[in-house]
Amino acid sequence: MNRDLKGKMYPTVTYEVGREKIFEYARATQSDNPYCTDPDFAAKSHYGVVVAPPTFAAVYCHNAMRMVFEDQELGMNIPRVVHGEQTFEFGEVVKSGDVITTTTTIRDILVKENREGIENVLLLVRTESVNQDGEVVCFGRWTIVERGSDE
């Protein structure tokens, strides 16, 4: 991987949160949370509309992270990539009708040797997602591991 790209910021990606997408996501994740699945309940809540479950961040961050994987300049060896770690820090609740803008930055690119002496590359990425009012809805920290080869 091209370690000179530490600090690279990708173009922002915008995602409009649709109520039906929230319903689909809730069904796919087997959520029965009425804030996410029951429009009548949600309308009577203090949010007034259907809200997305926190893990919906994977949906609105998808295209932002996709740019990292498709970055030819980065030179990631996709067949050798595995998911290392992922954490989210949540801010404002994401509601149907919100427009989420996500910015992606390469925080660092590290080389770590494992017990067998094989060098793995760790790609540390940060996403920052804000709603149409400029309020942070989610900070994401993503660790992508490109496994080294013993050849």
Mean pLDDT of 23-27: 94
Q: What is the pLDDT of residues 126-144, one digit of tens each?
A: 999 999 999 999 999 999 9
Q: What is the pLDDT of residues 41-52, one digit of tens each?
A: 999 999 999 999
Binning pLDDT at 50, 70 and 90, where does residue 151 land?
Answer: low
For the chain, give every domain's residue range. Answer: 3-18+52-146
Predicted TM-score (pTM) of this structure: 0.89
Closest CA to 78 of 4, 145, 141, 142: 145
The predicted structure's pLDDT at residue 110:
95
Q: What is the pLDDT of residues 78-92, one digit of tens each?
A: 999 999 999 999 999
Distance CA 71, CA 10 (A): 10
Q: Where on the phi/psi map is residue 95: left (φ > 0), alpha (ψ -120 to 50), or beta?
A: beta
Span 3-18+52-146 CATH architecture: Roll (3.10)
